[in-house]
Structure 1
Amino acid sequence: MADTMQLSKSEIVAGELKKMQSELRAEKLPLREAVAETCRILFAFGHDSGLSGQITARAEQPGTYWTQRLGLGFDEIKSDNLLLVNEDLEVLEGKGMPNPANRFHSWLYRARPDLNCIVHSHAPHASALAMLEVPLVISHMDTCVLYDQVAFLEKWPGIPVGNEEGEIISGALGDKKAILLSHHGLLVGGASVEEACVLGVMFERAARLHLLAMAAGEIKPIPPELGREAQRWVSTQKRFEATFAYYSRRAGRELAI
């Protein structure tokens, strides 16, 4: 006889979240390997834009983080060619130079101690939306991991290599986890590498859905309480780790072709 058919939705949700904590498992990569795998995942999901875009993750020493070497594409990143840099972008470990645009990451890490990984890319659909100076609308269940989490920088401050751009972007992000940068691209931050990677992939999917829906008619909002419920449902570290592991397997298959 069924034991759960009389439970309320809130009771079922709480029970399933608890079950996922104990039963949803995925191999967790060491930090540098996770950063490198994030680069390859983003490439496989269409975020490639030549040498543009940066992925960074806080390192053990305060004020330092790992990032890719300028001159390599997302698909060429490995754990052993990452660079350890400080806030001034001085290389502490590794060979080569980081992208000078990493400077605004330094500002974001200063402003947001809760963020341990930042993904910035010029993915095509997010970039197309940025060209229209239109804020990203989250209005589909699949993308609710970003519900009420996307800020918008309406005016392009130019190439992000100065301290001014770092102050502007970190200020515009506020307490959100993601931002659409007009005439530029997307940026997301997470408490873990896995979270930032998942948010980056979903941001581009949300932008694609936004453009498709906008071409067909007016996008209808979802009820805020349901959007927040969905955001909480998919925003657990266990869920991020399991999704990241799937993205990694998928990227491995696609890059091997």
Structure 2
Amino acid sequence: MDIKFESKEAERQYLKERLAAGFRIFAKYGFDEGPAGHISLRDPINPDAFWVVNPFGLHFALIKASDLILVDESGKVLEGGANRHLNLAAFMIHSAIHTARPDVNCAAHAHSLYGRTFCTLGKSLDITTQDSCAFYNDHVLYENFRGVVLDEEEGIAITQALGDKKAALLQNHGLLTTGGTVEETVFWFLSLDRCCHSQLLADAAAAGTGGATKKIGDKEAMDTWKVVGSRKGGHFAGRALFDLIEVETKGDYKN
């Protein structure tokens, strides 16, 4: 991010607004599923704490910067909206990631339709399209489903499976993406969900003709990943989504 701020407080406010905008984008693409799903953002003033959605259960399309709460690594709510009821599943997943991955400033998880459908197959994404190359050797399959993530051990297990990758397919659950910025993380989530959708369609079409999809070679996939899979590339692609949501909502999320 190349924006210069007058103070850390100004940077914090800007990032909270971007996080709220990220939730609006999730709502626009139908990634909401009741109270399920969350996006977190590391605080620029206290890097051991992160911002998450509040109040618990508020529709993504209604979230504003003032609704967010700041939570430390122990789960203590430090500041934020009047309703400070913490989403326990959000804390368990995101706290583990932010603690283990200092390079990750933002993480997103939701039960998107195509993502969760693909995650029932118990396999990683095939590299069959240019867009899927962004996840070449950069996503994992987490095979252990134990229900709603309500304990520390499960959050740690997901984080360990994620390793140094940008994304995870949580079997029987949904998608998880990470990044250095909100823009990057939200774009990876949208792109990964679309890749899941594309593969579901392609696999069904191939099965209907008795064939199989054509896979991209390792060299070509890696060369393409260097172009479309970098953090800089993800951030750049995501910025357009945020520009559009600001126009569509008239910046309502900033309040």
TM range (shorter): 0.7 to 0.9
Pick the aligned partner of 1:98 from 62, 65, 86: 86
Q: 1:245 matched to which residue of 2? A: 239
Q: 1:219 matched to which residue of 2? A: 213
Q: 1:36 matched to which residue of 2? A: 20
Q: 2:165 matched to which residue of 1? A: 176
1:47 is paired with a residue whose SS is: coil
In 2: Cα distance, 1:80 partner to 1:192 partner? 20
What TM-score, normalized by structure 1, do the two folds share? Answer: 0.82
Instruction: In structure 1, list runs of 5 or more residues that go unmatched.
Output: 1-20, 22-27
- Report deviation, 1:240: 3.3
Pick the aligned partner of 2:149 from 160, 164, 170: 160
Corresponding letter in the other structure for 2:89: A
Instruction: In structure 2, list runs of 5 or more residues that go unmatched.
Output: 3-10, 207-211, 251-255
- Report deviation, 1:77: 1.2
In 1: Cα distance, 2:98 partner to 2:114 partner? 26
Corresponding letter in the other structure for 2:192: F
RMSD: 2.1
Q: 1:133 matched to which residue of 2? A: 122
Pick the aligned partner of 1:66 from 51, 54, 66: 51
In 2: Cα distance, 1:219 partner to 1:75 partner? 37
In 1: Cα distance, 2:57 partner to 2:240 partner? 28
In 2: Cα distance, 1:133 partner to 1:238 partner? 30
1:131 is paired with a residue whose SS is: coil
Corresponding letter in the other structure for 2:147: G
Deviates more, 1:49-58 or 1:91-100: 91-100
Q: 2:6 matched to which residue of 1? A: none
- In structure 2, the CA distance between the partners of 1:214 and 1:113, relative to structure 1 (3 Å rule), is same
1:121 maps to 2:115? no
In 2: Cα distance, 1:111 partner to 1:158 partner? 22
Deviates more, 1:237-246 or 1:94-103: 237-246
- In structure 2, the CA distance between the partners of 1:219 and 1:252, relative to structure 1 (3 Å rule), is farther
Conserved in 2, the CA contact under 8 Å of 1:138 and 1:206?
A: no
Deviates more, 1:178-187 or 1:247-256: 247-256
- Report deviation, 1:137: 2.1
In 2: Cα distance, 1:199 partner to 1:240 partner? 7
- Report deviation, 1:169: 0.3
1:86 maps to 2:72? yes
Conserved in 1, the CA contact under 8 Å of 2:184 and 2:237?
A: no
Q: Number of paired residues?
A: 230
1:156-199 Cα offsets, whole Å, 9 max, x none, are 12211101111210111112110000111000110121111111
What TM-score, normalized by structure 2, do the two folds share? Answer: 0.83
Conserved in 2, the CA contact under 8 Å of 1:121 and 1:186?
A: yes
Deviates more, 1:44-53 or 1:206-215: 44-53
Q: 1:203 matched to which residue of 2? A: 192
